[in-house]
Structure 1
Amino acid sequence: MNYSKEFKEEALKLSDEIGVKKTAAQLGLKYYTLADWRSKRKEQLNAPGLTDAEQQRRIRELERENAELRRANDILKDALGFFAKDRKK
């Protein structure tokens, strides 16, 4: 079942006040549904926010790393081909 963002926020506020078990019972939710919402909220609150400049720097780092890994992969493919030809002889 899909719940609106507003409903989830209110349910989370209520669960902060009276607890997950009571809130789930009062709202007719399964305990684990509400517990999952709380867990996701905690993850979002703990996730570090990056500025645009930090995001761009991170993207550049990942692009460089990706290029390096592609080169290494190409070298390994060439070596595999070389050794595979050698085994056929």
Structure 2
Amino acid sequence: MNKSNKYSPEVRARAVRLVQEHRSEYPSLWSTIESIAPKIGCSAHTLLEWVRKHETDTGLRDGVTSEERDRIKALEREVKELRKANEILKLASAFFAQVELDRKLKS
């Protein structure tokens, strides 16, 4: 389920910077975002997500940073692969143990 990145990182950074620079000119963050989003060509909700992500990544907002999120995803993939490998090894071990028992019984 990959999202296509319609906007380049430069456009996102510029949009977030514009929100930060003009935040004091508007009564709320949302009104700032509603004003700037059409100029960038994105929805206000999308721009709000970018702003929140930037604030989290820079430590202005609590939460998991993008770097930490990427590391967690990589670790989850690794755990999944290791579990598969363990299952394969368990099945192979059981198979060879049964073969060994059958060989001893026939002797």
Structure-1-length-normalised TM-score: 0.47
> Counting helix residues as a fraction of each chain, which structure ranks higher?
1
